[in-house]
Amino acid sequence: MEVKLENPQIKDWRGYKGRPFLISGPCSAETEEQVMETARQLAEINQVSVYRAGIWKPRTRPNSFEGVGSEGLKWLRRVKQETGMLVGTEVANEKHVYEALKYGIDMLWIGARTSVNPFTVQEISDALQGVDVMVLVKNPINPDIELWMGAIERIARAGITRIGAIHRGFSSYEKTVYRNQPNWQLPIELRRRFPDLPIICDPSHIGGARHFLHEISQKAMDLNFDGLMIESHINPSKALSDAAQQLTPNDLKELLSRLIYRSPDTSDPKLLDVLGELRQQIDIYDDHLLDLMEKRMKVAETIGRYKKENNITILQSLRWDEIIRKAVMKGKEKGLSPELIDAIFKAIHQESINHQMKVMNNGEKDPKEKK
Ligand code: PEP
Ligand code: MN
Protein backbone atom coordinates (compact mmCIF):
# COMPACT_ATOMS: atom_id res chain seq x y z
CA MET A 1 0.00 0.00 0.00
CA GLU A 2 1.29 3.42 -0.91
CA VAL A 3 2.04 5.69 2.03
CA LYS A 4 0.27 9.04 1.99
CA LEU A 5 2.78 11.83 2.54
CA GLU A 6 1.73 14.65 4.78
CA ASN A 7 4.35 17.11 3.84
CA PRO A 8 4.10 20.78 4.66
CA GLN A 9 4.97 22.89 1.59
CA ILE A 10 8.67 23.58 1.42
CA LYS A 11 8.13 27.32 1.81
CA ASP A 12 6.75 26.55 5.27
CA TRP A 13 9.84 24.59 6.31
CA ARG A 14 11.94 26.28 8.99
CA GLY A 15 14.97 28.01 7.53
CA TYR A 16 13.44 28.49 4.06
CA LYS A 17 15.09 31.52 2.46
CA GLY A 18 13.19 31.55 -0.85
CA ARG A 19 13.30 29.67 -4.12
CA PRO A 20 15.43 27.68 -4.74
CA PHE A 21 15.60 26.09 -1.28
CA LEU A 22 19.39 26.07 -1.23
CA ILE A 23 21.63 23.60 0.58
CA SER A 24 25.34 24.22 0.28
CA GLY A 25 28.63 23.51 1.99
CA PRO A 26 31.58 21.21 1.50
CA CYS A 27 31.37 17.63 0.32
CA SER A 28 33.26 16.75 3.53
CA ALA A 29 34.03 18.52 6.77
CA GLU A 30 37.84 18.45 6.80
CA THR A 31 39.00 20.87 9.48
CA GLU A 32 37.24 23.25 11.85
CA GLU A 33 38.82 26.15 10.00
CA GLN A 34 37.60 24.96 6.57
CA VAL A 35 34.08 24.32 7.89
CA MET A 36 33.82 27.68 9.65
CA GLU A 37 35.33 29.78 6.87
CA THR A 38 33.17 28.18 4.16
CA ALA A 39 30.14 28.79 6.38
CA ARG A 40 31.01 32.45 7.02
CA GLN A 41 31.38 33.12 3.30
CA LEU A 42 28.14 31.29 2.50
CA ALA A 43 26.26 33.13 5.24
CA GLU A 44 27.20 36.39 3.51
CA ILE A 45 25.41 35.35 0.32
CA ASN A 46 22.33 35.02 2.52
CA GLN A 47 20.58 32.53 0.24
CA VAL A 48 21.67 29.26 1.80
CA SER A 49 18.90 27.71 3.92
CA VAL A 50 20.90 24.71 5.10
CA TYR A 51 24.66 24.33 5.46
CA ARG A 52 25.78 20.83 4.49
CA ALA A 53 28.95 18.88 5.27
CA GLY A 54 29.68 15.16 5.07
CA ILE A 55 30.95 13.78 8.39
CA TRP A 56 31.06 10.07 7.49
CA LYS A 57 32.04 9.65 3.85
CA PRO A 58 31.11 6.66 1.72
CA ARG A 59 34.08 6.23 -0.64
CA THR A 60 34.24 3.99 -3.65
CA ARG A 61 37.65 2.56 -2.73
CA PRO A 62 39.08 2.07 0.78
CA ASN A 63 42.12 4.00 1.97
CA SER A 64 40.77 7.34 0.86
CA PHE A 65 39.57 10.06 3.23
CA GLU A 66 36.57 8.64 5.07
CA GLY A 67 35.43 11.71 6.97
CA VAL A 68 36.33 13.22 10.34
CA GLY A 69 33.49 11.48 12.25
CA SER A 70 31.60 12.87 15.25
CA GLU A 71 34.24 15.54 15.95
CA GLY A 72 32.91 17.37 12.86
CA LEU A 73 29.41 17.53 14.35
CA LYS A 74 30.75 20.02 16.91
CA TRP A 75 31.92 22.23 14.05
CA LEU A 76 28.46 22.07 12.45
CA ARG A 77 26.90 23.03 15.77
CA ARG A 78 29.25 26.02 15.85
CA VAL A 79 28.22 26.97 12.29
CA LYS A 80 24.61 27.05 13.42
CA GLN A 81 25.40 29.12 16.51
CA GLU A 82 27.60 31.64 14.70
CA THR A 83 25.85 32.04 11.33
CA GLY A 84 22.22 31.11 12.05
CA MET A 85 22.13 28.74 9.07
CA LEU A 86 20.52 25.38 9.71
CA VAL A 87 22.90 22.44 9.33
CA GLY A 88 22.70 19.03 7.71
CA THR A 89 24.73 15.90 7.16
CA GLU A 90 24.50 12.42 5.62
CA VAL A 91 23.52 9.47 7.80
CA ALA A 92 24.10 5.89 6.74
CA ASN A 93 23.14 3.91 9.85
CA GLU A 94 21.38 4.30 13.20
CA LYS A 95 24.55 5.27 15.01
CA HIS A 96 24.96 8.24 12.66
CA VAL A 97 21.36 9.27 13.36
CA TYR A 98 21.84 9.21 17.15
CA GLU A 99 25.14 11.07 16.93
CA ALA A 100 23.74 13.75 14.58
CA LEU A 101 20.65 14.30 16.74
CA LYS A 102 22.82 14.58 19.84
CA TYR A 103 24.54 17.59 18.25
CA GLY A 104 21.27 19.24 17.15
CA ILE A 105 21.67 18.67 13.41
CA ASP A 106 18.56 20.01 11.64
CA MET A 107 18.61 18.02 8.44
CA LEU A 108 19.69 14.47 7.73
CA TRP A 109 20.01 13.02 4.26
CA ILE A 110 20.23 9.44 3.19
CA GLY A 111 22.93 8.95 0.57
CA ALA A 112 22.60 7.19 -2.77
CA ARG A 113 24.56 4.16 -1.56
CA THR A 114 22.24 3.79 1.42
CA SER A 115 18.84 4.37 -0.18
CA VAL A 116 19.43 1.22 -2.27
CA ASN A 117 19.26 -0.89 0.90
CA PRO A 118 15.82 -1.32 2.51
CA PHE A 119 17.35 -2.95 5.64
CA THR A 120 19.51 0.09 6.33
CA VAL A 121 16.76 2.57 5.45
CA GLN A 122 14.44 0.73 7.85
CA GLU A 123 17.11 0.84 10.57
CA ILE A 124 17.42 4.61 10.04
CA SER A 125 13.66 4.98 10.03
CA ASP A 126 13.40 3.12 13.36
CA ALA A 127 16.01 5.45 14.85
CA LEU A 128 13.94 8.44 13.68
CA GLN A 129 10.66 7.44 15.34
CA GLY A 130 9.06 10.50 16.90
CA VAL A 131 11.91 12.85 16.01
CA ASP A 132 11.28 16.29 14.48
CA VAL A 133 14.01 16.74 11.90
CA MET A 134 14.16 17.32 8.12
CA VAL A 135 15.05 14.21 6.15
CA LEU A 136 16.00 14.12 2.49
CA VAL A 137 16.29 10.88 0.57
CA LYS A 138 18.74 10.75 -2.32
CA ASN A 139 17.85 8.59 -5.26
CA PRO A 140 19.41 5.13 -5.16
CA ILE A 141 22.43 4.80 -7.47
CA ASN A 142 20.45 2.54 -9.80
CA PRO A 143 17.53 4.06 -11.70
CA ASP A 144 14.76 2.31 -9.76
CA ILE A 145 11.87 4.60 -8.88
CA GLU A 146 10.13 2.01 -6.68
CA LEU A 147 13.24 1.69 -4.52
CA TRP A 148 13.44 5.48 -4.20
CA MET A 149 9.75 5.69 -3.27
CA GLY A 150 10.13 2.79 -0.84
CA ALA A 151 12.90 4.60 1.03
CA ILE A 152 10.78 7.77 1.22
CA GLU A 153 7.81 5.77 2.49
CA ARG A 154 9.90 4.10 5.20
CA ILE A 155 10.98 7.55 6.47
CA ALA A 156 7.39 8.85 6.30
CA ARG A 157 6.24 5.89 8.39
CA ALA A 158 8.58 6.99 11.19
CA GLY A 159 6.36 10.06 11.52
CA ILE A 160 8.76 12.47 9.79
CA THR A 161 6.76 15.17 8.00
CA ARG A 162 9.43 17.41 6.50
CA ILE A 163 10.61 14.90 3.89
CA GLY A 164 12.16 15.69 0.53
CA ALA A 165 13.85 13.83 -2.28
CA ILE A 166 17.26 14.64 -3.72
CA HIS A 167 17.91 13.86 -7.36
CA ARG A 168 21.67 13.20 -7.69
CA GLY A 169 21.75 11.16 -10.91
CA PHE A 170 22.26 7.47 -11.59
CA SER A 171 25.23 5.23 -12.18
CA SER A 172 25.53 3.69 -15.61
CA TYR A 173 27.99 1.43 -17.34
CA GLU A 174 28.02 3.71 -20.32
CA LYS A 175 30.18 6.73 -19.50
CA THR A 176 29.14 10.18 -20.69
CA VAL A 177 30.43 13.63 -19.87
CA TYR A 178 28.41 13.73 -16.65
CA ARG A 179 29.52 11.78 -13.60
CA ASN A 180 26.01 10.38 -13.07
CA GLN A 181 23.20 10.20 -15.61
CA PRO A 182 20.38 12.61 -14.78
CA ASN A 183 17.57 10.42 -16.26
CA TRP A 184 15.25 13.38 -15.71
CA GLN A 185 12.20 11.23 -16.42
CA LEU A 186 12.68 9.56 -13.01
CA PRO A 187 12.32 12.64 -10.79
CA ILE A 188 9.50 13.79 -13.08
CA GLU A 189 7.75 10.48 -12.46
CA LEU A 190 8.44 10.79 -8.72
CA ARG A 191 6.71 14.17 -8.81
CA ARG A 192 3.69 12.54 -10.48
CA ARG A 193 3.55 9.80 -7.85
CA PHE A 194 4.14 12.09 -4.83
CA PRO A 195 2.83 15.51 -5.95
CA ASP A 196 3.45 17.16 -2.56
CA LEU A 197 7.01 15.92 -2.08
CA PRO A 198 9.67 18.63 -2.46
CA ILE A 199 12.42 17.63 -4.90
CA ILE A 200 15.90 19.07 -4.62
CA CYS A 201 18.41 18.67 -7.45
CA ASP A 202 22.07 17.94 -6.67
CA PRO A 203 23.90 19.17 -9.77
CA SER A 204 27.29 18.58 -8.09
CA HIS A 205 26.98 14.79 -8.06
CA ILE A 206 25.21 14.67 -11.44
CA GLY A 207 27.78 16.81 -13.25
CA GLY A 208 30.92 15.84 -11.36
CA ALA A 209 32.64 18.97 -12.69
CA ARG A 210 32.19 22.66 -11.92
CA HIS A 211 31.45 23.78 -15.47
CA PHE A 212 28.29 21.64 -15.68
CA LEU A 213 26.68 23.02 -12.52
CA HIS A 214 24.92 25.97 -14.09
CA GLU A 215 23.26 24.09 -16.96
CA ILE A 216 22.06 21.31 -14.64
CA SER A 217 20.76 23.79 -12.05
CA GLN A 218 18.91 25.73 -14.76
CA LYS A 219 17.31 22.55 -16.06
CA ALA A 220 16.17 21.66 -12.53
CA MET A 221 14.62 25.11 -12.13
CA ASP A 222 12.90 24.79 -15.52
CA LEU A 223 11.46 21.48 -14.35
CA ASN A 224 10.11 23.27 -11.29
CA PHE A 225 12.30 21.51 -8.74
CA ASP A 226 12.01 23.07 -5.30
CA GLY A 227 15.65 23.43 -4.49
CA LEU A 228 19.32 22.79 -5.14
CA MET A 229 22.10 21.12 -3.18
CA ILE A 230 25.44 22.43 -4.43
CA GLU A 231 28.79 21.58 -2.88
CA SER A 232 31.04 24.50 -1.96
CA HIS A 233 34.50 24.78 -0.44
CA ILE A 234 36.85 27.67 0.34
CA ASN A 235 39.59 26.00 -1.68
CA PRO A 236 37.92 23.50 -4.02
CA SER A 237 41.03 22.19 -5.76
CA LYS A 238 42.48 21.18 -2.35
CA ALA A 239 39.29 19.40 -1.20
CA LEU A 240 39.79 15.91 0.24
CA SER A 241 36.76 14.60 -1.67
CA ASP A 242 34.99 15.67 -4.86
CA ALA A 243 37.54 18.40 -5.65
CA ALA A 244 36.49 18.75 -9.31
CA GLN A 245 32.88 19.61 -8.59
CA GLN A 246 32.99 22.08 -5.67
CA LEU A 247 32.59 25.83 -6.03
CA THR A 248 33.92 28.68 -3.95
CA PRO A 249 31.10 30.52 -2.16
CA ASN A 250 31.75 33.43 -4.48
CA ASP A 251 31.35 31.28 -7.60
CA LEU A 252 28.16 29.88 -6.09
CA LYS A 253 26.84 33.42 -5.74
CA GLU A 254 27.71 34.09 -9.35
CA LEU A 255 26.01 30.89 -10.52
CA LEU A 256 22.84 31.79 -8.61
CA SER A 257 22.77 35.24 -10.16
CA ARG A 258 22.76 33.67 -13.64
CA LEU A 259 19.82 31.34 -12.95
CA ILE A 260 16.55 32.26 -14.60
CA TYR A 261 13.38 31.48 -12.72
CA ARG A 262 10.68 31.11 -15.31
CA SER A 263 7.17 31.38 -14.01
CA PRO A 264 4.19 30.18 -15.97
CA ASP A 265 2.18 33.28 -16.98
CA THR A 266 -1.27 31.86 -17.25
CA SER A 267 -4.42 31.80 -15.19
CA ASP A 268 -3.90 28.06 -14.76
CA PRO A 269 -0.28 27.65 -13.70
CA LYS A 270 -0.78 23.98 -12.84
CA LEU A 271 -1.66 23.21 -16.45
CA LEU A 272 1.32 25.08 -17.83
CA ASP A 273 3.56 23.29 -15.35
CA VAL A 274 2.42 19.96 -16.63
CA LEU A 275 2.79 21.00 -20.28
CA GLY A 276 6.20 22.46 -19.54
CA GLU A 277 7.35 19.27 -17.90
CA LEU A 278 6.05 17.14 -20.76
CA ARG A 279 7.84 19.36 -23.27
CA GLN A 280 11.00 19.03 -21.24
CA GLN A 281 10.61 15.26 -21.46
CA ILE A 282 10.30 15.53 -25.24
CA ASP A 283 13.45 17.68 -25.37
CA ILE A 284 15.28 15.09 -23.30
CA TYR A 285 14.23 12.25 -25.62
CA ASP A 286 15.20 14.32 -28.65
CA ASP A 287 18.64 14.84 -27.11
CA HIS A 288 18.87 11.08 -26.59
CA LEU A 289 17.97 10.50 -30.24
CA LEU A 290 20.71 12.86 -31.37
CA ASP A 291 23.27 11.24 -29.04
CA LEU A 292 22.31 7.80 -30.32
CA MET A 293 22.54 8.92 -33.93
CA GLU A 294 26.01 10.33 -33.30
CA LYS A 295 27.13 7.05 -31.70
CA ARG A 296 25.64 5.02 -34.55
CA MET A 297 27.52 7.06 -37.15
CA LYS A 298 30.79 6.64 -35.24
CA VAL A 299 30.32 2.87 -35.47
CA ALA A 300 29.53 3.21 -39.19
CA GLU A 301 32.82 5.07 -39.65
CA THR A 302 34.73 2.34 -37.81
CA ILE A 303 33.08 -0.21 -40.10
CA GLY A 304 34.11 1.94 -43.07
CA ARG A 305 37.75 1.86 -41.95
CA TYR A 306 37.56 -1.88 -41.45
CA LYS A 307 36.01 -2.45 -44.89
CA LYS A 308 38.65 -0.26 -46.47
CA GLU A 309 41.49 -2.21 -44.87
CA ASN A 310 39.95 -5.50 -45.94
CA ASN A 311 38.71 -4.38 -49.34
CA ILE A 312 35.01 -5.07 -48.76
CA THR A 313 32.24 -3.13 -50.58
CA ILE A 314 30.17 -0.68 -48.59
CA LEU A 315 26.72 -1.89 -49.54
CA GLN A 316 25.74 -5.33 -48.39
CA SER A 317 22.08 -5.40 -49.32
CA LEU A 318 21.13 -8.72 -47.73
CA ARG A 319 22.15 -7.49 -44.33
CA TRP A 320 20.32 -4.23 -44.88
CA ASP A 321 17.05 -5.97 -45.90
CA GLU A 322 17.27 -7.96 -42.70
CA ILE A 323 17.76 -4.83 -40.58
CA ILE A 324 14.70 -3.08 -42.06
CA ARG A 325 12.54 -6.20 -41.77
CA LYS A 326 13.38 -6.63 -38.08
CA ALA A 327 12.94 -2.93 -37.31
CA VAL A 328 9.49 -2.84 -38.94
CA MET A 329 8.47 -5.87 -36.89
CA LYS A 330 9.76 -4.46 -33.60
CA GLY A 331 8.25 -1.07 -34.42
CA LYS A 332 4.83 -2.64 -34.92
CA GLU A 333 4.95 -4.10 -31.41
CA LYS A 334 5.66 -0.60 -30.13
CA GLY A 335 2.73 0.92 -32.05
CA LEU A 336 4.95 2.59 -34.68
CA SER A 337 3.79 2.52 -38.29
CA PRO A 338 5.82 0.60 -40.90
CA GLU A 339 5.96 3.82 -42.99
CA LEU A 340 7.69 5.66 -40.15
CA ILE A 341 10.20 2.90 -39.52
CA ASP A 342 10.89 2.52 -43.23
CA ALA A 343 11.47 6.25 -43.70
CA ILE A 344 13.65 6.67 -40.59
CA PHE A 345 15.78 3.62 -41.23
CA LYS A 346 16.31 4.45 -44.91
CA ALA A 347 17.45 7.93 -43.95
CA ILE A 348 19.77 6.56 -41.26
CA HIS A 349 21.14 3.99 -43.69
CA GLN A 350 21.86 6.66 -46.29
CA GLU A 351 23.65 8.76 -43.67
CA SER A 352 25.69 5.71 -42.59
CA ILE A 353 26.74 5.07 -46.17
CA ASN A 354 27.77 8.72 -46.51
CA HIS A 355 29.90 8.45 -43.37
CA GLN A 356 31.48 5.20 -44.54
CA MET A 357 32.14 6.67 -48.01
CA LYS A 358 33.86 9.65 -46.48
CA VAL A 359 36.15 7.36 -44.51
CA MET A 360 36.89 5.10 -47.50
CA ASN A 361 37.42 7.78 -50.13
CA ASN A 362 38.94 10.68 -48.26
CA GLY A 363 41.57 8.55 -46.61
CA GLU A 364 40.35 9.94 -43.28
CA LYS A 365 42.37 8.70 -40.38
CA ASP A 366 41.14 6.99 -37.24
CA PRO A 367 40.28 9.92 -34.93
CA LYS A 368 42.20 8.21 -32.12
CA GLU A 369 45.38 8.42 -34.20
CA LYS A 370 44.96 12.17 -34.66
CA LYS A 371 45.49 12.94 -31.01
C1 PEP B 1 27.47 13.70 -0.89
O2 PEP B 1 26.43 14.36 -0.90
O3 PEP B 1 28.59 14.17 -0.64
C4 PEP B 1 27.39 12.27 -1.29
C5 PEP B 1 28.25 11.37 -0.86
O6 PEP B 1 26.43 12.07 -2.18
P7 PEP B 1 25.82 10.77 -2.91
O8 PEP B 1 25.19 9.93 -1.85
O9 PEP B 1 24.85 11.42 -3.83
O10 PEP B 1 26.94 10.10 -3.66
MN1 MN C 1 30.35 14.84 -2.54
Q: What is the DSSP string of 12-52?
A: GSTT--SSSEEEEE-SB---HHHHHHHHHHHHHHT-EEEEE
Q: Which atom belonging to ligand 1 lies closest to the Cα atom of 241?
A: 3
- pLDDT score, position 371: 38
Q: Whose CA is nearest to atom 6 of ligand 1?
A: 111
In whole angstroms, what is the distance from residue 258 CA to residue 240 CA?
28
Cα torsion angle, 312, 314, 320, 323, sign: positive
- Tens place of pLDDT per residue across the chain (371 aa): 466 777 889 999 999 999 999 999 999 999 999 999 999 999 999 999 999 999 999 888 888 899 999 999 999 999 999 999 999 999 999 999 999 999 999 999 999 999 999 999 999 999 999 999 999 999 999 999 999 999 999 999 999 999 999 999 999 887 788 999 999 989 999 998 999 999 999 999 999 999 999 999 999 998 889 999 999 999 999 999 999 999 999 999 999 999 998 765 555 555 556 677 678 778 888 888 998 999 999 998 898 888 888 887 766 778 888 888 999 999 999 999 898 998 899 899 889 888 888 888 876 554 544 43
Question: In this structure, which ligand is nearest to the CA of 244?
Answer: 2
**Identity of residue 243:** A
Q: What residue ranges do the domains of the chain occupy?
A: 10-258, 269-370
Please identify, by atom number, the ligand 1 atom nearest to the C-alpha of residue 27.
Answer: 3
Give the closest residue to 276 by CA, choosing from 204, 223, 208. Answer: 223
CA 32 to chain CA mean position, Å:
29
Phi-psi bin for 63: left (phi > 0), alpha (psi -120 to 50), beta?
Answer: left
The helix-helix angle for 338-361 and 269-310 (nearest 10°) equals 40
Name the closest ligand to CA 240.
Answer: 2
Closest protein CA for atom 8 of ligand 1 = 111
Ligand nearest to the CA of 24: 1
Rounded to whole angstroms, how far apart are CA atoms 167 and 141?
Answer: 10
CATH 3.80.10.10 assigned to 269-370 = no
pTM equals: 0.77
Range list of H helices, the chain:
32-45, 71-83, 94-102, 118-127, 145-157, 185-193, 203-207, 213-222, 249-258, 269-310, 317-333, 338-361, 367-370
Ligand 1 atom with minimal separation from the 205 CA? 9
CATH code 3.20.20.70 for 10-258: yes
H or E segment to which residue 172 belongs? none
To the nearest 10°, report the CA torsion of 71, 77, 82, 83: 110
* 349 CA to centre of ligand 2 in angstroms: 44
Distance 83 CA to ligand 2 centre (A): 23
Atom of ligand 1 at shortest distance to CA of 58?
5
